[in-house]
């Protein structure tokens, strides 16, 4: 679908990617030092971007949890104050003679993302990761996952100076770090095995790399699991690839140039002609897929939105859910974890609610050492009994 649009670099990238795939694949079993976990230096408190900007509506009930989790992982968030969007602002977005099918909720989300992108542009920073306030992540995000993903990203992009943690901002426009799937197909079709093939991946610029923090294949969201199997990617490995069909905007990184293009060109809030039939994330997907925005996906994602508000409150909620959430729901509850997250914050095991001593303990043991201190879990996040089961096979 997305033909790589980099003619002069294509051969070069193709060759280096091939080398890297072989290199990284072999490192799955042989643990090549440069990719071994112990040697990774943690990413800094903004995950190697200029800033982490959060989209969080006024009085959002999710913000407190988000901040508590960020304190444990030691992330530095910027949370711009968002207004309560008025009827006039919603009408202005919809434009004259409105026949749009977009919901008011989606209009508000669009306006909010737009405001946060503008706050980033005002900040003078060079890059930013834009996050929604209900995202979950693994306790090893900063110590292992981001260092690995950024190393893979830099391997995919032209060489750049050390100061460019994710590659030079002239060489990329958008990094999907958090999403609800880049399945190479849309939700109108089935996903994974039987639909896509290894060649659909190999014909794209991509890097496959080992990441021991990724849940086992059987514990991944069923769509993700099927996709990775269809691509013949080894267990406990992720891919960084040119985006094909990324869904949801849980966490996406932008540069100054691409943020400007988003607010002015690809997802503007004014000049709409009353016929918007898609949400914000689809506007970005379309820009990546059809309009030449240079987007990359970390697959499986490092951030995924949390189910409901707590483990209990949504158990019996029969309300409509997007297809990806619906397919992952039962697994989410029996794992006690957000889809595709190994050891995350959804279960509230790592909440500290004002107890600074507890926070300090969690920072050291969970945040820095990456120990999954949850009931019935081993420090690496595996379930107690699971490893025994595997060993006896
Ligand atoms: C984190 O690293 C990035 C890339 O080197 C840098 O731009 C950013 O300022 C750093 N953040 C902090 C808080 O030091
Ligand atoms: C937790 O994070 C918030 C937001 O970044 C910050 O304002 C606050 O000082 C942090 N709390 C502690 C105890 O570090
Ligand atoms: C959406 O917002 C507009 C403008 O505020 C309002 O007129 C309309 O009734 C709202 N639609 C729904 C379905 O709430
Ligand atoms: C995957 O590859 C097959 C075989 O080459 C092709 O027919 C199909 O269109 C590709 N699918 C996608 C989603 O790129």
List beta partners, residue 297: 176, 241
214 DSSP 8-state letter: S
Residue 31 lies in a domain: no
Check if 46 has its Cβ closer than 6 Å to any atom of ligand 1. Answer: yes
In a domain, 209, yes or no: yes
Q: How many residues does the chain have?
A: 393
Structural domains counted in the chain:
1
The answer as to whether 375 is a domain residue is yes
Q: Give Cα separations from 194 to 231, 293, 304, 328 (angstroms).
A: 11, 29, 25, 20
| Cβ-contact 324, 223 below 8 angstroms | yes
Residue 247: CB atoms within 10 A of its CB come to 20
Distance 199 CA to ligand 4 centre (A): 8
Q: In the chain, which stretches have pLDDT less than 50?
A: 1-7, 9-38, 310-317, 393
The answer to whether the beta carbons of residues 285 and 246 sit under 8 Å apart is: yes
Cα–ligand 1 centroid distance for 220 (angstroms): 31
List all residues whose CB is within 6 A of at least one atom of ligand 3.
Answer: 87, 90-91, 104
Q: Is the peptide bond before 300 cis (omega within 30 degrees of 0)?
A: yes
Phi and psi angles of residue 151, each rounded to the nearest 5 degrees, phi first:
-65, -45
Q: Taking the CB of residue 270, how many other CB atoms lie within 10 A of it?
A: 8
Ligand 1 pocket, residue 346 CB under 6 Å: no
Give the separation between CA 146 and CA 165, rounded to whole angstroms: 10
CB of 45 sitting under 6 A from ligand 2: no
262 found inside a domain: yes
56 C-beta closer than 6 A to ligand 1: no
Other CB atoms within 10 A of residue 81 CB: 8
Cα–Cα distance measured from residue 322 to residue 318, given in angstroms and rounded to the nearest whole number: 12
Given a contact cutoff of 8 angstroms between Cβ atoms, the answer to whether 85 and 115 are in contact is no
Q: Burial of 37 by CB count in 10 Å (0-12 exposed, 13-18 middle, 19+ buried)?
A: middle
Question: How far is residue 143's CA from residue 47's CA, in Å, rounded to a whole number?
Answer: 10
Q: Which residues pair with 295 in a beta bridge?
A: 174
Ligand 3 mean position, distance from CA 90 (Å): 8
Q: Is 381 in the pocket of ligand 1 (CB under 6 A)?
A: no
For residues 95 and 269, what is the distance between their CA atoms, to the nearest angstrom?
Answer: 9
Q: Identify the pLDDT of residue 98.
A: 87
Where does 190-231 show beta strands of DSSP type E?
Answer: 206-210
Centre of ligand 3 from the C-alpha of residue 59, in Å: 21
Point out the ligand 1 atom lying closest to the alpha carbon of residue 45: 13
CB of 194 closer than 6 angstroms to any ligand 4 atom: no
Examine residue 27 and state whether it is found in any structural domain, yes or no: no
The Cα 316–Cα 318 span in angstroms is: 6
Distance separating alpha carbons of residues 217 and 69, to the nearest angstrom: 26
333 contacts: CB under 8 Å, gap ≥ 6: 307, 311, 315
Among 43, 44, 127, the mutation site with the greatest number of ligand 1 atoms within 8 A of its Cβ is 44
Structural domain contains residue 6: no
Residue nearest ligand 2's atom 9 by CA: 71
Query: Is 4 domain-assigned?
Result: no
Q: 73 CB less than 6 Å from ligand 1?
A: no
| Alpha carbon distance 175, 253 (integer Å) | 5
Structural domain boundaries enclosing 194: 42-392
pLDDT value, residue 271: 82
pLDDT at residue 90 in the model: 94
DSSP 1: -
Q: Which atom of ligand 1 is nearest to the CA of 49?
A: 3
Query: Can you state the angle between helices 280-290 and 104-123, rounded to 10 degrees?
Result: 60
pLDDT at 391: 54
Domain annotation covers residue 17: no
Closest CA to 95 of 272, 266, 268: 272
Query: Which residues are CB-neighbours of 319 under 8 A, at least 6 positions away?
Result: none
Angle at 238 between CA 42 and CA 212, to 5 degrees: 55
Q: Is the CB of 201 under 6 A from ligand 2?
A: no
Q: Tell me if 352 sits within 8 A of 359, measured CB to CB.
A: yes
pLDDT of 390 reads 57
Residues 73, 139 contacting (CB under 8 angstroms): yes
């Amino acid at each position: 679908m997305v033909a790589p649009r980099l003619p002069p670099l294509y051969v070069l990238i193709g060759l280096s990617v091939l080398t890297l795939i072989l290199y990284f694949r072999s490192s799955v079993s042989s643990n090549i030092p440069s990719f071994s976990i112990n040697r990774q230096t943690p990413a800094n408190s903004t995950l190697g971007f200029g800033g982490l900007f959060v989209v969080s509506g006024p009085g959002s009930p999710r913000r407190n949890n988000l901040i508590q989790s960020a304190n444990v992982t030691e992330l530095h968030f910027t949370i711009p104050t968002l207004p309560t969007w008025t009827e006039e602002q919603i009408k202005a977005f919809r434009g004259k003679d409105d026949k749009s099918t977009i919901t008011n909720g989606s209009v508000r989300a669009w306006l909010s993302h737009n405001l946060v992108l503008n706050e980033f542009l005002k900040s003078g920073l060079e890059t930013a990761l834009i996050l929604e306030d209900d995202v979950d992540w693994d306790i090893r995000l900063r110590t292992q996952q981001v260092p690995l993903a950024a190393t893979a990203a830099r391997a995919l992009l032209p060489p750049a100076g050390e100061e460019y943690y994710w590659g030079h901002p002239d060489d990329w426009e958008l990094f999907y770090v958090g999403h609800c799937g880049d399945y190479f197909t849309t939700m109108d079709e089935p996903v994974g095995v039987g639909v896509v093939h290894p060649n659909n991946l190999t014909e794209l610029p991509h890097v496959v790399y080992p990441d021991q923090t990724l849940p086992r294949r059987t514990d991944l969201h069923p769509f993700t699991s099927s996709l990775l199997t269809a691509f013949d990617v080894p267990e406990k490995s992720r891919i960084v690839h040119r985006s094909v069909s990324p869904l949801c905007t849980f966490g996406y990184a932008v540069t100054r140039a691409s943020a400007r293009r988003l607010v002015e060109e690809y997802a503007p809030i004014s000049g709409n002609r009353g016929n918007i039939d898609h949400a914000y994330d689809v506007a970005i997907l379309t820009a990546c897929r059809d309009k030449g925005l240079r987007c990359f996906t970390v697959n499986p994602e490092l951030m995924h939105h949390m189910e409901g508000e707590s483990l209990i409150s949504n158990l019996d909620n029969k309300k409509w859910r997007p297809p990806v959430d619906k397919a992952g729901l039962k697994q989410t509850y029996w794992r006690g974890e957000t889809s595709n997250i190994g050891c995350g914050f959804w279960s509230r095991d790592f909440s500290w609610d004002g107890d600074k001593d507890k926070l300090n303990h969690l920072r050291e043991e969970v945040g820095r050492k990456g120990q999954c201190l949850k009931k019935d879990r081993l420090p690496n996040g595996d379930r107690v009994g699971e490893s025994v089961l595997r060993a006896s096979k």
